[in-house]
Amino acid sequence: MSNGQADIGLIGLAVMGQNLVLNMADHGFTVAVFNRTVSKVDDFLANEAKGKSIVGGHSIEEFVSQLKQPRRVMLMVKAGKPVDEFIEHLLPHLGAGDIIIDGGNSNFQDTIRRCAYVESKGLQYIGTGVSGGEEGARNGPSIMPGGSPAAWPHVKDIFQAIAAKADGEPCCDWVGENGAGHYVKMTHNGIEYGDMQLICEAYSLLSAVGMTAPEIAEVFTEWNKGELDSYLVQITSEILAKLDPETGKPIVDVIQDTAGQKGTGKWTVISACDLGVPVTIIAEAVFARCLSAIKSERVDASKLLKGPKAVFRGDRKKFIEDVRQALYASKICSYAQGFQLMRAAAGEYKWNLNYGGIAQMWRGGCIIRSQFLGRIHDAFGGRKKVVNLLTVPFFRSATRKAQGSWRRVISQAVKLGVPVPGFMTALAYYDGYRSERLPANLLQAQRDYFGAHTYERTDKPAGQFFHTNWTGSGGSITAGTYTV
Ligand code: 6PG
């Protein structure tokens, strides 16, 4: 293949990188590849890439020389320093207008910094979320690109060709400037944590009433035919049905109950705290992973701390339906929170996010793909402004219908001593969000009592602050009024 013929280059031949390259080649694009361990280039060319429109470079120079202009270089390398290192390796070999694309799970703040830096060198930068794991990368991921707007026309055809499709539309579109794409990917991962936690709580409750993994697998198979139709529910039914070849037991019963996390869910919660947005379900999902990880402490505590001895004696079939409704209602709250977060971020970082478009990007290819996202896409379609998904008629009616089940399931969990932090915090969010008055009046009084932080009054215009000399001995000096 003569030089300068590759439509795009990709650096990083781990599983995701290789599968994206093969997907691009399958869609008629010529791809140049490079890898820090150069021998991987030869292995790839001699095996998976054999006979395809894929060429390889044995040095950055050779790799860059194989690219059409404007050169497009996609990095599929570990988030963090490796991305900065490859940017530095590439800059001397690229020219004005060339495009560097980071397709890893980078922190959006890093992408904001890198975008400004690369643009200062006369090049363009894209930070894109790529969701769907190795299967998605190979057969159609969800792609969420952001960064230098002028770069989008040069990668749009490639990304939209390889992306998953939903109703014929690509699950890929331009998200917004600088870190917007990685922010949306981060939020996707946060919502993914929430979905996974809620599913695990449903599994935990059904186990607590005596159901076996294969029996619960059948329940999830049924649930996957209705409102909960989604990739995560589908794989859960497969996981619960799978037997361990070594022991013959359900494999889920022999897997250690200590969860890992690479950090994108944590980043979501940190950003939510910075922006003052209650993403309580994602936060509980992150902390549930942390609690699961202190296994030895939990084993010791299980011998010391006693809980209820209650045994479930209700109608199992009815309980299963209640759990399904509770899972659905909690999921609605989690997505409502996630979209609230993106809206706050858009305000903070001056992004013009298209929420219906984001729902479209998530309808296929990504880990949270589901029929439910079609409903969210519709909810944003055509509406001027959705204040909160909970107030959209479709979701308002769904949560109203689920209320009884939701509250019965939580009280049953309390009676059985089964921890369901996701279900509980979702209901607390729902009850809090629909409350005209919350107990923060007392909280303001407490703050004013010990810190003279002042408070507003219900019978005076907003913005007027008052202080009470609660003890009769304090002075009239008040603390500066500010909210982080
Ligand atoms: C995706 C996934 C992926 C994620 C892994 C591990 O969208 O394809 O979200 O990006 O990094 O699933 O995530 P955790 O280790 O944080 O669970």
DSSP string, 282-331: HHHHHHHHHHHH-HHHHHHHHHH---------S-HHHHHHHHHHHHHHHH
Which residue from 370, 192, 172 is spatially nearest to 267, judged by alpha carbons?
Answer: 192
Locate 382 and state its tokens: 């055509």
Which backbone phi and psi does 169 adopt, to 5 degrees? -95, 140
Q: Which residues pair with 188 in a beta bridge?
A: none
What is the Å distance from ligand 1's center to 417 Cα?
Answer: 30
Distinct helix (H) and strand (E) counts, the chain: 19, 10
User: Parallel, antiparallel, or unpaired for β 8-11 and 31-34?
Assistant: parallel
What residue owns the CA closest to ligand 1's atom 13? 262
What is the Å distance from ligand 1's center to 4 Cα?
Answer: 34
Please give the Cα distance from 158 to 279 (Å, whole number): 34
Q: Chain centroid to CA 475: how far?
A: 49
Per DSSP, the three-state class of 437 is: coil
99 HSE (CA, 13 A, CB side): 29
CA dihedral 136, 140, 141, 145 (to 10 degrees): 160
Residues serving a catalytic function are 185, 192
- Nearest-atom index, ligand 1, CA of 263: 16
- The owner of tokens 């294969």 is 214
Per DSSP, the three-state class of 479 is: coil
What is the Å distance from ligand 1's center to 103 Cα?
Answer: 13
Using a 6 Å cutoff on CB, does residue 197 contact ligand 1?
A: no
Task: Provide the residue-wise pLDDT of the chain in tens; the chain has 484 residues.
Answer: 446 899 999 999 999 999 999 999 999 999 999 999 999 999 999 999 999 999 999 999 999 999 999 999 999 999 999 999 999 999 999 999 999 999 999 999 999 999 999 999 999 999 999 999 999 999 999 999 999 999 999 999 999 999 999 999 999 999 999 999 999 999 999 999 999 999 999 999 999 999 999 999 999 999 999 999 999 999 999 999 999 999 999 999 999 999 999 999 999 999 999 999 999 999 999 999 999 999 999 999 999 999 998 889 999 999 999 999 999 999 999 999 999 999 999 999 999 999 999 999 999 999 999 999 999 999 998 666 899 999 999 999 999 999 999 999 999 999 999 999 999 999 999 999 999 999 999 999 999 999 999 999 999 999 999 999 999 886 666 776 566 6
- Nearest-atom index, ligand 1, CA of 189: 9
Q: Are 377 and 360 in contact (CB under 8 A)?
A: yes
> Using alpha carbons only, what angle is made at residue 468 by residues 462 and 473, rounded to the nearest 5 degrees?
160
- Nearest-atom index, ligand 1, CA of 141: 8
What is the Å distance from ligand 1's center to 202 Cα?
Answer: 21
User: Each residue of 140-174: b (16+ CB within 10 Å) or e?
Assistant: bbbbbbbbbeebbebbeebbbbbbbebeebbbbbb
Which backbone phi and psi does 359 adopt, to 5 degrees? -60, -40
Residue 375 CB coordination number (10 Å) = 18
> Using alpha carbons only, what angle is made at residue 193 by residues 191 and 194, rounded to the nearest 5 degrees?
60
What residue owns the CA closest to ligand 1's atom 17? 261
What residue owns the CA closest to ligand 1's atom 2? 131
Write the single-letter amino acid at 59.
S
Locate 399 and state its tokens: 């949560």
